[in-house]
Amino acid sequence: MLRRKITEQLNDWATHKDEKCLVVQGAKQAGKTYAVEQFAKERYKELVEINFKQMPSAKEIFAKELTVDAMLLTMRFRFPDKKILPKKTLIFLDEIQECREAITSLKSWAIDNRYDVIASGSLLGVKETGAFAELTGYVDYVKVQGMDFEEFLWAMGLSSDVVASVKHYLDQKMHVPMPLHQRLISYYRLFIATGGMPEAVAKFMENRDFREVDAVQRKLLQGYQYGIAHYAHTEEKSKAEKCYMTLARQLLDNANHKFQYKEIEKGARAQKYYASIEWLVRADMIQLCRLVTEVASDLDAHARDNFFRAYPTDLSLLMAMSDFSLKQHIVEDTLPADTKAGVYDCAVADALMKKGYPLYFYKNETRKLELDFVIRQNGHPVPIDIKSKRSKARPLLDLLKKEGVTCGYKFIEGNICVSEEGIITLPFYMASFL
């Protein structure tokens, strides 16, 4: 069984739910259903699970009165073997985007408050968004993403104490003991090649065979392509898929990783494709890292929407867009320098996204300064430089002279150290522990 952090959030909701249902959001195949099912096994005596894709006839439960008693009556007829009791039963409405009436019913469940109800679905950001807008005040939201490196370490069998010690070294800015450091680097390469999609991680744990991992990754990618074909508007289907399937080229072959429309087709322009990019963002298929022209506390005020990088929401999908040999080169540490820079840029972006950071990057053409990422911590901007090979961090040193910029991170393959100027050098794998 894969241990997931989302379980803690689900338990917290059940303990303090305050007359609200829960909507579990997130990318396709990120483990939403699995997480809720495991949570139900641990906390409830009974689970009533309705998947509207697998069981479309269950829409009849919500076809008439949306009072709790009326829905329960129909539900009990449909599931006669289930004892549906207050506080002892979890009602799980999965793929709820397929039944608008079920979405509307969440208000009734919340007001009644006798039963715990969780809803989940795919591409909730692009389907039935109006129905969810009417539920303000009646639902809480949590987001499930692919597994991060910390969860991968749990899957690899590292104890909670060992993983906690990694956080301790980061907090104290202490050198990680070399045997542990080398082990973590090795695990991190495995994690990048596998990605965080639970099915890919489970397959790797099963037999350590990257051929089978690759088959799972490509199946997941096909599922995403199906999602575009099934849910995007007719005029967006082809354009959204073209944008999505260029991500590996954009990030691994492009020197500055900026999204370039010419990679989609010759002469392509933002006017034709930007709406497709926005659709992919709403569908939880990509996350944008926007250019900022100034490193300041209010990064949004200095962000430019027309200059961005686009990252897939999990490394498993990036691997599926690439040749199988990429995984071998990552694990064996034989990547060409330029490709290695792109891979580790994506790995750090993946970690920051899963920690909930909005992503920005900085570029000043006049002064020839560029930084891979800028995030906000404790109200202050924190610049980040990714170094796949030894070189000086001149942009970091320059920005540390600015008012309000108190520290900067430099990610490398080496160990932790802190410079007098305030540059905190960290191993790549520490991005998941920020």
Among 105, 124, 144, which residue terminates a domain? 144
Asked which of 6-15, 178-187, 229-238, 275-284 is least confident by mean pLDDT, the reply is 229-238
1 is a domain residue: no
Q: Is 233 exposed, middle or buried (0-12, 13-18, 19+ CB in 10 A)?
A: exposed
390 is a domain residue: yes
* pLDDT above 80 for 92: yes
Among 89, 110, 144, which residue terminates a domain? 144
Both 185 and 92 in one domain: the answer is no
Asked which of 121-130, 186-195, 208-217, 302-311 is least confident by mean pLDDT, the reply is 121-130
Would you say the C-alpha torsion 423, 424, 430, 434 has a positive or negative sign? negative
User: How far apart are alpha carbons 165 and 160 in whole angstroms?
Assistant: 9
State the CB neighbour count (10 A cutoff) for residue 183.
16
Q: What is the mean pLDDT of residues 40-53?
A: 96
Both 329 and 185 in one domain: the answer is yes
Residue for token pair 């080169």? 329
* pLDDT above 80 for 85: yes
294 is a domain residue: yes
Tens-place pLDDT, residues 255-279? 778 899 999 999 889 999 999 999 9
Q: What is the mean pLDDT of residues 33-44?
A: 95
* pLDDT above 70 for 389: no
Tens-place pLDDT, residues 357-372? 999 999 887 777 889 9
Both 273 and 341 in one domain: the answer is yes
Both 139 and 241 in one domain: the answer is no
- CA distances 211 to 114, 202, 227, 297, Å, are 48, 14, 25, 45
pTM of the model: 0.93
* pLDDT above 80 for 390: no
Q: Write out the two tokens for 344.
A: 């580790």
Q: Which domain holds residue 264?
A: 149-433
Both 129 and 199 in one domain: the answer is no
* pLDDT above 80 for 87: yes
Both 17 and 119 in one domain: the answer is yes
Both 338 and 407 in one domain: the answer is yes
Tens-place pLDDT, residues 96-119? 999 999 999 999 999 999 999 999
* pLDDT above 70 for 129: no
221 is a domain residue: yes
Q: What is the mean pLDDT of residues 374-389?
A: 88
Both 116 and 262 in one domain: the answer is no
Both 401 and 348 in one domain: the answer is yes
358 is a domain residue: yes
Both 96 and 178 in one domain: the answer is no
Instruction: Write the CATH number for 103.
Output: 3.40.50.300
Q: How many domains does the chain have?
A: 2
User: How far apart are alpha carbons 105 and 118 in whole angstroms?
Assistant: 12
Both 224 and 135 in one domain: the answer is no
Among 98, 128, 144, which residue terminates a domain? 144
The whole-number pLDDT of residue 128 equals 61
pLDDT band at 392 (very low <50, low <70, confident <90, very high): low
Both 164 and 305 in one domain: the answer is yes
The whole-number pLDDT of residue 184 equals 97
